[in-house]
Structure formats: C-alpha cells, structure tokens
Amino acid sequence: MTYAELVKDRAPLIHNITNQVVMNITANGLYAIGASPLMAHEQEEMTDIINIADALVLNIGTITEPVFQAMQVAGKKATEKKIPIVLDPVGVGASDYRMRVVLHLLETLKVSLIRGNAAEIMTLVLLKQAGKGVEGGIETDATAVARAFYRRYRIPVVVTGKEDIIYNGNILSKLKNGSPALKQVTGTGCLLTSVIAAFLAVADDGHYIEAATEAVSFYTVASEMAAEKSKLPGSFQVQFIDQLAALTVSEWEKRAMIEVMR
Amino acid sequence: MTYAELVKDRAPLIHNITNQVVMNITANGLYAIGASPLMAHEQEEMTDIINIADALVLNIGTITEPVFQAMQVAGKKATEKKIPIVLDPVGVGASDYRMRVVLHLLETLKVSLIRGNAAEIMTLVLLKQAGKGVEGGIETDATAVARAFYRRYRIPVVVTGKEDIIYNGNILSKLKNGSPALKQVTGTGCLLTSVIAAFLAVADDGHYIEAATEAVSFYTVASEMAAEKSKLPGSFQVQFIDQLAALTVSEWEKRAMIEVMR
Amino acid sequence: MTYAELVKDRAPLIHNITNQVVMNITANGLYAIGASPLMAHEQEEMTDIINIADALVLNIGTITEPVFQAMQVAGKKATEKKIPIVLDPVGVGASDYRMRVVLHLLETLKVSLIRGNAAEIMTLVLLKQAGKGVEGGIETDATAVARAFYRRYRIPVVVTGKEDIIYNGNILSKLKNGSPALKQVTGTGCLLTSVIAAFLAVADDGHYIEAATEAVSFYTVASEMAAEKSKLPGSFQVQFIDQLAALTVSEWEKRAMIEVMR
C-alpha cells in the first residue's frame, strides 16, 4: 500500500498551528487527500488536542506571541507522544523575531522534518536573511542547501523549488514534477507541509523519508494535472484541490519523476 | 413569503464570532443568500456591534481566551436585545477547554438554537467525548441525539448528518436532502450555522423552528444542485456558493424533502 | 510603462495588517497582479518587516487591541521610511472603537491614501455613523463625499461604489468601470486597497494619484471581464483572480473609462 492510500484509509488527524492566510486552503487540501484537519491555538487546550492528534504542523507565517506559546506546549506534548512534528519556517528571514522563534522550536522540540524554500532553509544555515521577503527567490543549488541544513541541525529537510530536494543525511531524493502555477497561489507551500505531516502520520518513523518523498511527489503530480486544466491562478487553485482528491495511485506512479541518491 | 425571500429582502446583519478557518466562506455564503455578514471579536466593540446586528453566531472552532471573552460580552448584549443567538460547538469533544467554554455559554446566555453533528451534540449530552476529532463520525441515531440534547438543555437543536434533524421539544423535522460532497469542504457546517442565524433573524421567535428547518432545507438542496455540477471538492465549493445565490424558491420547493413529526 | 507593468516588473513587497476574513483573497489577488504579499501582525517584528516592505496596508476589518498596537509600530516606521501607507477603514461606523482607531491612525501617521465606500468615508467626515453596517449603502454623491473628506483631513481619498472617485485636493477622477458582482464577494474592497498600495509602491509620491487611478481602473476592468464569464459569486471570484492575472495593458486601455477633472 502507498502512503497516499494509508492516509485515505486511516484519515489521520493533523493538528495545524498555522498562519491565518492559509488555514482554509490547508483544511481543504487535507480533506482532499483523505486526512482530518484540525486548527487550534489556545494554549490551554493544546495538551488535549495533541492527545487525539496523529501529527503536528508548526507554521510561523503569521506568528504572534500567544501562538508561539501554544506551539511550545503542543510541541512538547507531541515530542513526548512521539508523533511527527513538521515545521514550516515561513519567511524566517523577514525578522529577527521569526529567527528566534524557529531556533527555539528546533532546539527544544523533536522536529521530524522541516519544509521550506531554498531562501528560508539557507537563512537557517547562515543565521541571517538569504533572499528577499517571504518568497525568497534566491538562485542557488537546492541540494547544497539541503545538505548544509542537515549538517547543521541533523533534521530531515525538504527544500522546495523548481526541483524538490528531500534529504535525511542518508538518502537524497530529487523530484522533478510540479507546475510554476503553484507559486502564484498563496499557501501551496504551507499546504504541502501539512500534506507531508499527513503522510508521516501513517508511516513508521524509520520511513519518514520515504513518506515525505511520496507526499511531495503526489502533491506536485497533482499540481501538473491541475495546470493542464488551467494555468490562471484562480482556476488553478480550484483544479488543484480537485486533483489532490482525484489523483489515483496508478496515475501518480505513471507521472512521478523521483531520482534517489544514497 | 418564505424566509429565504425575507432574508433577500431585509439583508439582516449577522454578526459572526467564528473560527479563522471558515471566516471567508462564511462571509461569502451569507452574501450569497442575501444577508450582510459581519466578523469582529474585539471585546471593546462588542456592545456597539450587537446594537446594529440582527443575529449573533458563536462558533468555537479556533476559540481563544480573548475571543471567548468577546463572546460573553456579545452574548450578554444579544440576550438583552433579544436577537437570535446560534451556537456551533465545533469539536467540543476535542478538549476540556472547549467543553467548559460551551457549557458556560449555554448556562449564561439565552441561546436560541445549537447546531452540530451527532458527535458534537452527543458529547454535550454525555459531558464527555463521543466520536473522534472535530468531525465526530459516530454512528448513532440522530433523532435520539436531538431528543436527548433537548431533554437536558431545553434548547432547540439541529443535528446535521446524512439526515438532518431539527427539534424544539415539540416539533421534530427530518430532512433528507444534501450531498456527501459537503463533508469534503471545510466550513460547510459552520456556514450552515450562520445561514440558520440569518433565517432566524427574519423570523418571530415563536417561529424559529420553521425558519431553521427552511434554512437547513434550502442549504442542503443548494448542495445537491452544486453536486450535480461537480463532486470534486474544489469545484464543488465554487458551485455551492453559486447555487446558494441562484436557488429559487420554486426549485427549492420542488426538491425539498422534509418530514415533520409532532 | 504603466504602473501595472511596473508592479509586474518589480514585484513590490506589500505588507498587509489586515482582517482575518480577507487575508487569503488579498494574498492571491496581490500575487495575481505580480506583487509580493506579506501578512504579519506581531508587534515585535513590525520594524523588521517594514524594513523590507515597499508599502503598508492598514485594514481594520477585524481589528483587536494587539493588532492595533502592531499597526502603530508598523505605521510609525513606514512614515519614517516614507513608503506609502494605505488605510482601509472597514465598517468604521460600526463602533466607537473603530472610529477611535481610525482617527488615531490618521492623526499619528503619514497616511498616503484612504479607500472606503461612501458610507465609511462619510462617517469619517461626520464623525458618526453614516449608513448601515459594514457595507454602508447610503445613497449619496460620492464626489461630494470625497471632497468633504479631503477638506477635513487633507489626505487623498478613493471612494468606491457604482462609480469610483479619486481625489487629492487637486485632481478628481471619476471611474465608470466595474461590475455589481464585486459587491457579492467578500474582500473585494479590501483587496482593492492592497492593489492600490502595490501601484503606489512603484510610483513616486508626486504621482500617487495617477497610480491610484490606474489601480482602481485596472481592477474594475478586470472585474468586468470576470463578470462576462460568470456573474454567480463563487465562479465570479475565481474568474476575477484569473482576470487580474490575465488582463493586458492593451485590453485595459481599450476598456478603461476615466474622466479626469481639475
């Protein structure tokens, strides 16, 4: 069974402490792949919520102090419960505050995987802003960025961009699917982070790298199918949610371009 | 005149203290039926806002302490002003905190109606978690759940699911319209709660049960028409907002399946 | 080069402190015209964020005390940095609190331009509620409202409605494009405010009025093209984002109806 099928079969409950811009598309995208989304960020209920959750997503896109505190409570409990924690350091280079938040989470929690664009991940390697704004947009070798990040933090990493790189210190996967239309729609990076969390939630922790690779591949193949219907951003977003729901395992396998290096 | 026509005619101002995931679809859905949505949750302005509002929706989906405090101020004022208050106990079984919040609102305010799925309503009957996560998914007799809730709280209740049950201690309506596609789109339960509030806003309080029944029926018939256009979740959501706006009284009457028992 | 082309060329970073209902459509609409959206409202990072931003949008739609404080920090820094600040006084007549917030921002910051409907702008002239709710809906002469606002505050103003009026005390433009479908979709006013900010971000401050006029014209022409595809609100919203991305300068110039008076 593929991880995509396991997600549909088990409907893992993914708890997202995420930004206000993308909550809606994140919930709809998780439903589309068959997972159960949950969004909450009141500190007082974080322990109870993690008790029923199968994975935790921490996304700092519109982070505030109260939400950061909720992340710490949820992350501590998720670390104890040994469910996957996936971190999305949205725009980490945009402020010293974001950098402090991300470093604190990386230091105090057992983060299972981090997902960002090359600029965000490189910012965490350099400990200062690489590229511009939230979107980054640095031209660099994503493979080198992934390796440098892992060397510093020893945490599996997904670097998304024209090609997507997944690296856990051992296996490096390079994925060549996807559509440029993804960059025109807000939240497609954030949703991918949550989709990865859903795939990790149905995997043994020795197989997170395979589950993450399949998640990214499945997601980017769905984006290609959506872009075949429309490349304009409004229609593309609608089609993308449709294709996340409609994509079959056989269609995915036919299109997936994954290069694995050890 | 149907309540749907009264909503279009009077454009009641519906104040929603609701969760961050569904604010956008709630506003668009209320516009689609001809109501005027308002979202706000700063405690300091709650009294002024209720002064101009025709109904109040309290939805705990991403409840936090400051929002809970705003709910209390708004709810107290709405109780005094005697405008309908509709409560949506999203995922009430997910934490003790949510349970405390909902019980406090039920005890201190004149809640006109509560809307939830069978798991949420049953959780409030049992005072402990029934079913799993936000979505619930318990298999149970929705009619029995509605009756048990009313017996305990003496508050009219809508239990949504494969069939929708509406009960006020006197009249019990069973509605058989709807599409499974609704469950694939986030916020369709929350939006229904706000649509019910809009229908209640144009009804006399002796007729809330009829107005709520028409609201649920109108909403689920629109979902069937949308599902005839597309069952994939991205397209379905777009079509559903379209059909909420386009559905005529005669088309609704032709399709509505309402069974009323006394 | 038109301002629309400059936006595509420079991808200005627009920082939006805006309401929770419209964050998603605002980000997608800004991407569609080629700008880079950023949303954040933690006070501690506001100075850093403004350091990298090209314009600031302040929108009070779901204002709370912490967000108001963030606006003040961001606004002070943006005033020092001399980047455009565009204010959207959403539903300013709905509460005394909103009025105090808006007046404080107008008094303490160098606001470059304000955008609202006639009811909102008139409320700021009268210092009390004109019209009903968030949407306003007063029947009045938008030109007179714009002139009265400017007389009182000496701040350039865009009054949107059936016709859109842009006035800076010197030039008054009257724009006749647009579709009634815009009023059926939440956030179309708020998104316009952010689009204006993007156009201002690529203009010299002596030419804000021309940039704002082009922004409103471009936006309303795109809405006409979308309405030709669908007038139902769900589909219209999708088409509108598509057309914001697809609209060419030549198509815009062919359709634009701008009357400039001095």
| B160 annotated ligand binder | yes
Q: What is the DSSP string of chain A?
A: --HHHHHHHH--EEEEE--TTTHHHHHHHHHHHT-EEEE---GGGHHHHHHH-SEEEEE-TT--HHHHHHHHHHHHHHHHHT--EEEE-TTGGG-HHHHHHHHHHHHHS---EEEEEHHHHHHHHHTS--SBTTTB-----HHHHHHHHHHHH---EEEESSSEEEE-SS-EEEE----GGGGGSTTHHHHHHHHHHHHHHTS-GGGHHHHHHHHHHHHHHHHHHHHHH--SHHHHHHHHHHHHHH--HHHHHHH--EEEE-
Residue of A8, A43, A238 best to disrupt the B interface, most CBs of B under 10 A: A238
Q: What is the pLDDT of residues A160-215, one digit of tens each?
A: 999 999 999 999 999 999 999 999 999 999 999 999 999 999 999 999 999 999 99
- Per-residue pLDDT at B134: 47
- Per-residue pLDDT at A134: 47
Helix (H, G, I), strand (E, B) or coil at B137: coil
What dihedral do alpha carbons A206, A209, A215, A217 form, nearest 10°?
Answer: -140
Name the token pair of A202.
């149905």
Taking an 8 Å cut-off on Cβ atoms, the answer to whether B94 and A239 are in contact is no
Closest by Cβ to A63, choosing from C20, C42, C52: C42
Nearest chain B Cα distance for residue C259, angstroms: 31
Q: What is the pLDDT of residues C81-120, one digit of tens each?
A: 999 999 999 999 999 999 999 999 999 999 999 999 999 9
Q: What sign has the CA pseudo-torsion B35, B28, C220, C126?
A: positive
| CATH value at residue C153 | 3.40.1190.20
- Asked if A48 contacts B94 with a C-beta cutoff of 8 angstroms, the reply is yes
- Asked if A165 contacts A174 with a C-beta cutoff of 8 angstroms, the reply is yes
Strands C13-17 and B258-261: unpaired
Helix (H, G, I), strand (E, B) or coil at B4: helix
Residues of chain C positioned with their CB less than 8 A from the CB of A25: 24
* pLDDT for residue B98 is more than 90: yes
Chain C residue with Cα closest to B14 = C133
Residue B145 lies in a domain: yes
Residue B152 lies in a domain: yes
- Asked if C214 contacts C3 with a C-beta cutoff of 8 angstroms, the reply is yes
Chain C residue with Cα closest to A239 = C238
- Per CB distance under 8 Å, which residues of B are interface residues toward A? 19-22, 24-25, 61-65, 91, 94-98, 132-135, 184-187, 230, 232-235, 237-238
Residues of chain A positioned with their CB less than 8 A from the CB of C20: 20
- Per-residue pLDDT at B132: 55
Taking an 8 Å cut-off on Cβ atoms, the answer to whether C132 and B38 are in contact is no
- At C128, is the pLDDT very low, low, confident or very high (cuts 50, 70, 90)? confident
- Asked if B246 contacts B221 with a C-beta cutoff of 8 angstroms, the reply is no
Chain A residue with Cα closest to B60 = A40
Q: If you search the block for the tokens 């591949």, which residue do you land on? A: A217
Closest by Cβ to B42, choosing from C65, C185, C232: C65
* Side chain identity at residue B184, one-letter code: Q
Q: What is the pLDDT of residues B150-208, one digit of tens each?
A: 999 999 999 999 999 999 999 999 999 999 999 999 999 999 999 999 999 999 999 99
Taking an 8 Å cut-off on Cβ atoms, the answer to whether B27 and C135 are in contact is no
The strand order across the sheet containing B113-117 reads B36-39, B13-17, B55-59, B85-88, B113-117, B157-160, B164-167, B172-175, B258-261
Name the token pair of A258.
């994954």
Least confident span in A131-135, B258-262, C125-129: A131-135
Taking an 8 Å cut-off on Cβ atoms, the answer to whether B48 and C96 are in contact is yes
| B29 annotated ligand binder | no
Residue B230 lies in a domain: no
Helix (H, G, I), strand (E, B) or coil at B227: helix
State the DSSP code for B132: B
Residue-range definition of the domain harbouring residue B84: 3-171+180-212
CB atoms within 10 A of CB A230: 17
Residues of chain A positioned with their CB less than 8 A from the CB of B136: none
Beta strands in B43-189 (DSSP E): 55-59, 85-88, 113-117, 157-160, 164-167, 172-175
Residue B258 lies in a domain: no
| A143 annotated ligand binder | no
Q: What is the DSSP string of B243-261?
A: HHHH--HHHHHHH--EEEE
Q: What is the pLDDT of residues A165-179, one digit of tens each?
A: 999 999 999 999 999
Q: How many CB pairs under 8 A join A and C?
A: 94
Taking an 8 Å cut-off on Cβ atoms, the answer to whether A134 and C23 are in contact is no
- Asked if A129 contacts A97 with a C-beta cutoff of 8 angstroms, the reply is no
- Per-residue pLDDT at B138: 55
Residue B105 lies in a domain: yes
Q: How far apart are CA B120 and CA C250, in angstroms?
A: 55
- Per-residue pLDDT at A132: 55
Total domains in chain B come to 1
* pLDDT for residue A130 is more than 90: no
Global ipTM: 0.95
Q: How far apart are CA A74 and CA A47, in angstroms?
A: 6
- Per CB distance under 8 Å, which residues of A are interface residues toward C? 19-22, 24-25, 61-65, 91, 94-98, 132-135, 184-187, 230, 232-235, 237-238
Contacts of B168 (CB under 8 A, 6+ apart): B150, B156, B157, B208, B209
- Per-residue pLDDT at A128: 86
Q: Facing residues of C104 across strands?
A: none
- Per-residue pLDDT at A131: 62
- Asked if B186 contacts B21 with a C-beta cutoff of 8 angstroms, the reply is yes
Q: How far apart are CA A91 and CA A120, in angstroms?
A: 6
Closest by Cβ to B97, choosing from A23, A42, A237: A42
* pLDDT for residue B119 is more than 70: yes
Chain A neighbors (3+ CB pairs < 8 Å): B, C
Residue B129 lies in a domain: yes
| A62 annotated ligand binder | no
- Asked if A227 contacts A210 with a C-beta cutoff of 8 angstroms, the reply is no
